[in-house]
């Protein structure tokens, strides 16, 4: 029963966020135009090869606008990079994003695939271990709150109205919509809920960065 529940939760998470995350397995190996912002805050235009998410969490294979490969682009010298297919990657070294513990990852830093950025940030992380039996390839989604607390979104599926409304309680109108289970304010709408909260928060705290 426990294994079945775990499978169902994973399936719901996958179907809930697949469209929004835009990480499409059919894009693997393709080139996409985009840009990266380096540690000097300079913007470099070019294109990126899309690999599996775990690889892109460690670095980005980029070519310049003339097709020349630019080597050595990692979370250590890149603040942010974005691809035309909608994927956005933030370095944990240059932001407050906290990567989950992962025994396979080398070091404490990486790129995080961010779906909604702001006071509340929604992002995911790919746990991948080809040497495990069976192979591990799992994507988990998290929200990071304004106080830097990190919450595993899968733990919010049961009791979502109570949990999410507590996280946005400083925005009473939004919290009430979630508590009252109004249409468009359920678990599968977490992206738009986060976006609405962030818009409100920024209007109240214009100096937030």
* pLDDT tens figures, 109-136: 999 999 999 999 999 999 999 999 999 9
Owner of token pair 């950025």: 117
Q: Which residue has the higher pLDDT, 172 or 107?
A: 172
Strands 121-129 and 136-144: antiparallel
pTM for the predicted model, two decimal places: 0.85
Q: How many CB atoms lie within 10 A of CB 34?
A: 20
Residue 25 has a pLDDT of 80
Residue 110 has a pLDDT of 95
Q: What are phi and psi of 22, to 5 degrees?
A: 65, 20
The rounded distance, in Å, linking the Cα atoms of 123 and 140 is 9
Token pair in block for residue 25: 């397995």
Which distant-in-sequence residues (6+ apart) come within 8 Å of 45 by Cβ?
33, 34, 35, 64, 65
Tens-place pLDDT, residues 130-185: 999 999 999 999 999 999 999 999 999 999 999 999 999 999 999 999 999 999 99
Residue 22 has a pLDDT of 61
Per-chain mean pLDDT for the chain: 88
How buried is residue 203: exposed, middle or buried, by Cβ count under 10 Å (0-12/13-18/19+)? exposed
pLDDT tops 70 at residue 12: no
Strands 78-83 and 69-70: unpaired
Q: What are phi and psi of 18, to 5 degrees?
A: -60, -45
Q: How many CA atoms lie within 13 A of 106 on its CB side?
A: 6
Q: What's the average model confidence in pLDDT over 38-65? A: 92
β strands within 16-152, DSSP E: 31-38, 43-49, 62-63, 69-70, 78-83, 88-91, 111-116, 121-129, 136-144, 150-152
Binning pLDDT at 50, 70 and 90, where does residue 15 land? very low
Q: Which residue has the higher pLDDT, 53 or 22?
A: 53
pLDDT tops 50 at residue 67: yes
pLDDT tops 90 at residue 198: yes
Report percent pLDDT > 70 for the chain: 89
Domain chopping of the chain, boundaries: 2-155, 159-209
Binning pLDDT at 50, 70 and 90, where does residue 205 land? confident
pLDDT tops 80 at residue 10: no
24, 42, 101, 106, 129 from 28: Cα distances, Å: 8, 27, 26, 23, 18
């Amino acid at each position: 029963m426990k294994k079945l529940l775990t499978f169902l939760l994973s399936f719901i998470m996958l179907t809930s966020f697949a469209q929004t995350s835009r990480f499409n397995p059919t894009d693997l190996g393709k080139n996409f135009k985009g840009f990266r912002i380096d540690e000097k805050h300079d913007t470099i235009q070019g294109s990126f090869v899309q690999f599996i998410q775990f690889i892109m969490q460690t670095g980005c294979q980029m070519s310049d606008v003339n097709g020349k490969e630019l080597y050595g682009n990692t979370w250590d010298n890149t603040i942010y990079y974005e691809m035309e297919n909608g994927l956005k990657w933030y370095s944990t070294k240059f932001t407050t994003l906290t990567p989950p513990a992962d025994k396979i990852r080398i070091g404490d830093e990486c790129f995080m695939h961010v779906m909604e950025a702001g006071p509340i940030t929604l992002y995911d992380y790919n746990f991948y271990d080809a040497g495990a039996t069976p192979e591990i390839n799992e994507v988990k989604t998290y929200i990071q709150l304004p106080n830097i607390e990190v919450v595993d979104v899968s733990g919010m599926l049961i009791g979502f109205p109570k949990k999410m409304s507590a996280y946005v309680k400083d925005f009473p109108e939004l919290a009430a919509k979630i508590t009252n289970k109004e249409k468009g304010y359920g678990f599968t709408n977490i992206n738009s809920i986060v976006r609405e909260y962030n818009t409100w928060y920024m209007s109240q705290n214009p100096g937030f960065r």
